[in-house]
Structure 1
Amino acid sequence: MGKRALFLALLLGLAQARVEEVVGGLEVPWALAFLPDGAMLVTERPGRVRLVQGGQVHTYLELPVYARGESGLLGLALHPAFPRVPYVYVYRTVLEGGRLRNQVLRLRHLGERGVVDRVVLDGIPAAEHGLHSGGRIAFGPDGHLYVTTGEVYQRELAQDLASLGGKILRITPEGEAAPQNPFLGRPGARPEIYSYGHRNPQGLAWGEGALFSSEHGPSGEQGFGHDEVNLILPGGNYGWPRVVGQARDPRYQDPLYVWPAGFPPGNLAYLRGSLYVAGLRGEALVRLDLRKEGGGYRVLRAETVLSGYGRLREVQVGPDGALYLTTSNRDGRGRVRAGDDRILRFLP
C-alpha cells in the first residue's frame, strides 16, 4: 500500500471510530435525556419511554398517544433540579374525551420506571392528519420549560396570539406562564407565548445564553425548502405564513441560516461555538460555525460532519462531551436499515 493510500485508509478508520452505536432496535426514537447515573431515557413516537442502561433497553413507561404522521410521543426533558425533584416531562399527541390535542405531561421518576403525575399544559393544537405537531421541549438556563408547537397546516394559527399553535412557549415547571413572558397581560393573547410566526419548529438549544431553534420550511403550500435555524428573541415574530426565508422585512425576524433547497431539520445542539443540526430528509449532521456580532450571530460556514446513517432526528450533547444522535428511519419516510432505529455516539 502506497503512502497516500495508507494515509486515506487511516483517515477513514479514524472517521469510523468516531461513531459508535449505543443501542439499536428502537422504533422512531424522538428525544433523549441523560440521567445522573449514566443511563438515558428515550421517547419512541408510538408511545413508549425507554430506559437505556448498560447497553440494555427496558420499558420505563407506556402511554396512550395518537401516533399518526408526525404526532405521538415526542419531546422529553428532566426537571432542572432532577433527581432531587424527580420529574420527567414529555410532549404527546392524545385523543381523549373526543378531543384531539397536544399536551405536556409530567411524570414522576421511580428509578427504573415512571408514572404519570399530571398534565402541565393542555390544548395545544393537533390535527387528524398528525402533521406539524412541533413537539420539542427543553428547560432553559432560566429554569423554565420551552415548548415548540406547530400550526398543524392551519397557517394563520402561527400569527394568532390567541392560539398556542405555531409558537415557542415558555412555562414554569408547574405549567404556568413564565414571569416576564412578552405577552403577559395583553388582552386576547395567550400568556405562555414566547415567540410566534413559526411553521413547525423541531429543535431548541442554548449557547452563551442565546436560544436557537430549528424549523421546517414549506413543502408545497408556499413553495419548497427554506428550512431554517433561528435566533429566538422574546416576542419575536418569525414571519410564517406572511414571509418565507430571508424576507428582509423589518416586521419579522429573519433566520440565522436557511437551506434554500431544503434540509428539514430535527433537533440542534450547541457545542464549542458551533450549532450541530440533525437532518431528516437531508440524512446528515451539519455543523454551523458561529460568530457573535453585536447583539446577534453570523454563520461563518456550514459543513456536513456525519452522514451514512439515514434520517437523523435527535442530537444532544452528552455529559461526556460527545454528541448523541438518534436515527428516524422507521418513521415511514426513510429507508430502514438492519438494526434501525439507533442511538449513536459521535465525537466531533
Structure 2
Amino acid sequence: MTRRRFLAALSALALARGQGRVEEVVGGLQVPWALAFLPDGGILVSERVGRIQLLRGGRLTTYAELPVYHRGESGLLGLALHPRFPQEPFVYAYRTVEEGGLRNQVVRLRHQGERGVWDRVVLDGIPARPHGLHSGGRIAFGPDGMLYVTTGEVYERELAQDLASLGGKILRITPEGEPAPGNPFLGRRGARPEVYSLGHRNPQGLAWHPETGELFASEHGPSGEQGFGHDEVNLIVPGGNYGWPRVVGRGNDPRYQDPLYFWPEGFPPGNLAFWRGALYLAGLRGERLLRLVLAGGKGNWRVSRVETALSGYGRLREVQVGPDGALYVTTSNRDGRGQVRPNDDKILRLL
C-alpha cells in the first residue's frame, strides 16, 4: 500500500469512527473551484478553465462555458444560486475576463434545465492583474438575501486599505448588483458603496454561523512579501478593517480586527463551512480538512480545538454542506501546485 492510500485509509477510518465515511462522488475534473446544489438533486461545479459542469445521476455534462483569463489563481471561480431559486432562475459566477480590459467580475446565467445561458454582468471592475494572483473569488448569498463577494488585492497591497477600490475587500450587493442597503460605507465620499469590510489580502471562503448568523471568512496570509504564513479565519463585522498590509496575524491594534484564529507557520485555506456543530476548513498547501471547535458565543468566539478531519487526498479547496446533510469537499491537485493523483480532481462526500 502506498503512503497516499495508507493516509486515505486512516482518514476514512477516523471518519467512520466519528462522523461517518468518505465517498468519491466523481473524478476527472479540471481544478474544480465551487459547488452549487440544485433543488432537483443536480450539482453545478465550476472549473477554473472556464467551464461549469452539471453532475446528475453520476454523469457530468457541460452546463455552460464562459470566456475567462485562466492564469495563476484566476479564471472561473465562485458559484452561487439566487436565494429564491428556481423562482428566480439565476446562477451567479465570479470570473476573470480579458476582453475590454483585464478585471474580475460577477456575472449571472439563466438556468434552463440542463444548460445555463448568459444573462448579464452583475458587478464589474474588480481588480485583476496579468500574473493572475490574488483574485479572491468566493461568492455566497447570506441569510439576508444579499450576495457577498471576496476580492483579492492582486499583489498591490495598498488596495486593501483603499476604500475607492474593490480589491482586498468583502463586498455586499443585491442580487441585481446594486450596493446592499445598510452597507457601512454608503454615502461616504470617495468610498465604494459595495464595500462591507476591508484590509483583506486574498479572502477565499465565506460561511455563516447557523444559529447566530455571523459571517466567518478564511484568508491567505503573506507568502514572502511580508514574511510567510499567518493564514487566517476571521469573524467579519460590517465596516471592519482586517489590517492588511498594516498588520500580519494578530496585531492587538484597536484600529484593526484581529483574526479569530491564525496559523503562524501557514495553512493556506480554501472555503469553510459549518457542519455538525463545528467549523470545517479546507486546506490547500496543508492538504487537510480541519475541524475547528468553537467556544464562547455571539461576538465573543474563540477556537478551543483544531483537529484533522480528512487527509490523504492532496490539496482541498471547496467545502460545502449539501442538501442531504453531507459535507462535500473538492480536491485541487491539477491547479499547478499539487501532485496529481489518479482520477483527479475529485468531489468527495463525507457522511
What range is the shorter-chain TM-score in?
over 0.9
- SS of aligned partner of 1:184: coil
Task: Pick one of 273, 278, 282 that aligns with 1:278.
Answer: 282
Distance of aligned partners of 1:186 and 1:112 in 2 relative to their CA distance in 1, 3 Å threshold: same
Matches within 5 A, 1:258-269: 258-269=262-273
Q: 1:23 maps to what in 2?
A: 26
| Cα drift, residue 17 of structure 1 | 6.8
Q: 2:337 maps to what in 1?
A: 333
- SS of aligned partner of 2:16: helix
Task: Pick one of 182, 190, 193 that aligns with 1:191.
Answer: 193
Aligned residues: 338
Structure 2 gaps of 5+ residues are 1-9
Does the aligned pair in 1 maintain the 2:14–2:309 contact within 8 Å? no
Could you tell me which amino acid in structure 1 is paired with residue 54 of structure 2?
L
Question: For residues 252-284 of structure 1, what are the alpha-carbon distances to aligned partners after superposition, in whole Å with 9 as ceiling and x for unaligned?
Answer: 000000011110000000123311000000000
Does the aligned pair in 1 maintain the 2:235–2:260 contact within 8 Å? yes
Does the aligned pair in 1 maintain the 2:15–2:309 contact within 8 Å? no
Q: Distance in 2 between matches of 1:13 and 1:272?
A: 13
Q: Distance in 2 between matches of 1:133 and 1:58?
A: 27
Question: For residues 122-151 of structure 1, what are the alpha-carbon distances to aligned partners after superposition, in whole Å with 9 as ceiling and x for unaligned?
Answer: 000000000000000000000000000000
Q: 1:47 maps to what in 2?
A: 50
Distance of aligned partners of 1:17 and 1:141 in 2 relative to their CA distance in 1, 3 Å threshold: closer
User: Is 1:141 aligned to 2:147, yes or no?
Assistant: no
Matches within 5 A, 1:1-348: 11=13, 14=16, 18-97=21-100, 99-207=101-209, 208=211, 209-293=213-297, 295-347=299-351
Q: Distance in 1 between matches of 2:305 and 2:36?
A: 29
- SS of aligned partner of 1:296: coil
Question: For residues 37-64 of structure 1, what are the alpha-carbon distances to aligned partners after superposition, in whole Å with 9 as ceiling and x for unaligned?
Answer: 1110010000000000010000000110
Q: Distance in 2 between matches of 1:177 and 1:13?
A: 42
Q: Distance in 1 between matches of 2:247 and 2:261?
A: 15
Identical-pair percentage = 79
- SS of aligned partner of 1:168: strand
Q: 1:3 maps to what in 2?
A: none
Query: Which of structure 1's runs of 4+ aligned residues deviate more than 4 A?
Result: 10-13
| Relative contact order, higher structure (CA 8 A, sep 6+) | 2
Q: Distance in 2 between matches of 1:331 and 1:241?
A: 27
Question: For residues 165-184 of structure 1, what are the alpha-carbon distances to aligned partners after superposition, in whole Å with 9 as ceiling and x for unaligned?
Answer: 00000000000000000000
Q: 1:4 maps to what in 2?
A: none
- SS of aligned partner of 1:289: strand
| Cα drift, residue 14 of structure 1 | 3.2
Q: Which moved more, 1:269-278 or 1:177-186?
A: 269-278
Structure 1 gaps of 5+ residues are 1-7
